């Protein structure tokens, strides 16, 4: 639902700050459509509020998160890891660029979408050694050039030497990929007697 046109600047800026906090992936163009103002207005609002542009926001979030990743070196994580709760959940963003698509159709090659989900499933494990043992995956629809893939990983169970991680990938609010990954890790101890770390699932 769009905001009312020409609403007071102070109110617009309050809403802008809240929206970006809730969804840091929003571009200036998307904010322009939401508030029905010019892109220059959105950029001025961001400057006055001290909110960096999307690329800088992602970079800052990624820098805060990468220190936590134990199982993969930085260059092996596909996409920008935005949020990471080790042994619990993680979120990454991967923008489909020219080098990720078939030249004729502009449809993303499937292995890029899979790699984002797979590397996030590994990164979320709190261990220096974590490897994918198996994956049950489903491509729900094709992803195209310019789209942003938001992958969300959830550790469903973790026990001695292995973990089950479920990953959902979205473009906007539409699910485009789902994967269930079995991750082997090197921890000797069992984290939880029943093998279930989280009773409540998202």
Share of the chain above pLDDT 90, in %: 50
Distance (Å, whole) CA 131 – CA 198: 21
> What stretches of the chain adopt beta strand conformation (E)?
80-85, 89-95, 130-139, 148-159, 162-171, 174-185
Mean pLDDT of 87-103: 93
Mean pLDDT of 40-62: 83
Looking at residue 194, its pLDDT comes to 35
Mean pLDDT estimate for the chain: 84
Tell me the C-alpha to C-alpha distance, in Å, between residue 201 and each of 81, 85, 101, 102. Answer: 21, 14, 34, 37
Tell me the C-alpha to C-alpha distance, in Å, between residue 74 and each of 52, 64, 183. Answer: 23, 12, 19
Looking at residue 187, its pLDDT comes to 65
| Cα distance between the two ends of the chain | 26
Residue 135: pLDDT over 90 = yes
- Taken in order of first residue, the domains within the chain and their CATH numbers are 9-51 (1.10.10.10), 67-185 (3.10.129.10)
Distance (Å, whole) CA 167 – CA 186: 21
Residue 193: pLDDT over 90 = no
Looking at residue 128, its pLDDT comes to 85
pLDDT confidence bin for 6, thresholds 50/70/90: low
Residue 87: pLDDT over 60 = yes
Cβ–Cβ < 8 Å for 143, 96 = yes
Highest-scoring range by mean pLDDT, 68-72, 85-89, 104-108: 104-108
* pLDDT tens track for 158-188: 988 899 999 999 998 899 999 999 999 986 4
Cβ–Cβ < 8 Å for 160, 188 = yes
Looking at residue 76, its pLDDT comes to 75
188 C-beta neighbours (distance < 10 Å), count: 7
């Amino acid at each position: 639902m769009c905001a009312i046109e020409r609403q007071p600047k102070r109110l617009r800026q309050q809403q802008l700050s809240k929206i970006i906090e809730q969804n840091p992936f929003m571009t200036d163009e998307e904010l322009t459509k939401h508030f029905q103002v010019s892109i220059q207005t959105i950029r001025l609002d961001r400057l006055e509020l001290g909110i960096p542009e999307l690329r800088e926001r992602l970079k800052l979030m990624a820098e805060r998160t990468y220190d936590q990743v134990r199982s993969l070196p930085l260059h092996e994580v596909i996409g920008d890891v935005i949020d990471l709760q080790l042994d619990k959940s993680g979120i990454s963003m991967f923008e489909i660029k020219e080098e990720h698509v078939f030249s004729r159709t502009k449809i993303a090659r499937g292995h890029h979408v899979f790699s984002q989900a797979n590397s996030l499933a590994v990164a979320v494990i709190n261990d220096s050694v974590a490897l994918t043992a198996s994956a049950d995956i489903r491509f729900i629809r094709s992803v195209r050039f310019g789209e942003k893939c938001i992958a969300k990983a959830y550790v469903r169970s973790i026990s001695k030497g292995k973990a089950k991680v479920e990953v959902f990938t979205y473009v906007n609010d539409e699910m485009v990929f789902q994967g269930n990954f079995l991750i082997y890790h090197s921890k000797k101890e069992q984290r939880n007697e029943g093998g279930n770390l989280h009773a409540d699932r998202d």
